[in-house]
Amino acid sequence: MIRKIEHLGIAVNSIKESLPIYEKLLGTSCYKSEEVESEGVKTAFLQVGESKIELLEATNEDSPIAKFLSKKGKGFHHIAFDVDDIEFEINRLQTEGFEMIHTTPKSGADNKRIAFLHPKSSDSLLVELCQEKKG
C-alpha cells in the first residue's frame, strides 16, 4: 500500500550551491547527505513535515541525473512514495500495466529499498517507490 509522499527529488548542478537556498527557503537544515555510487549521485535531504526534499547532484557524466540535467536542466526530477511492501507494489503496478525500470528493489539513499516506474507508463512522471530497510 502506498502510505504517503516520501520525498520530492530535485536535480541540481551543485548541492554545495543549491543547499543554502533550500535551507533558507524551508527554514531547516540538511539532516543527511550521502553518495549512492551505483546511481552516480550525491544526495542531500531536508525534512519538511512528514515529507522530505532530496537534492540530487550527478557524480559522473553517465549517471541518470547527469543525463536529466543535460536534457532538462535543474529542477523537479521525481516523486517518491513510501510503501509498506515494495515487492507487492511492484507486482501490483505491473499487473495494472505500469512498466518498471526496476522489477526488483535495489538499495537507495536514506536507508531505503527503492524501485522506479518508467515515466512513459506514468504520464511522463518519474515515480519512485521507497521502503525503509529493516534491521
Q: Give the pLDDT confidence score for residue 57 in this predicted structure.
A: 98
Ranges of the chain with pLDDT below 70: 135
d(C-alpha 14, C-alpha 41), whole Å: 11
Confidence at residue 21, expressed as pLDDT on a 0 to 100 scale: 98
Place of cell 522506479: 116
Nearest Cα to 18, choosing from 71, 51, 67, 65? 65
What pLDDT does 134 receive?
86
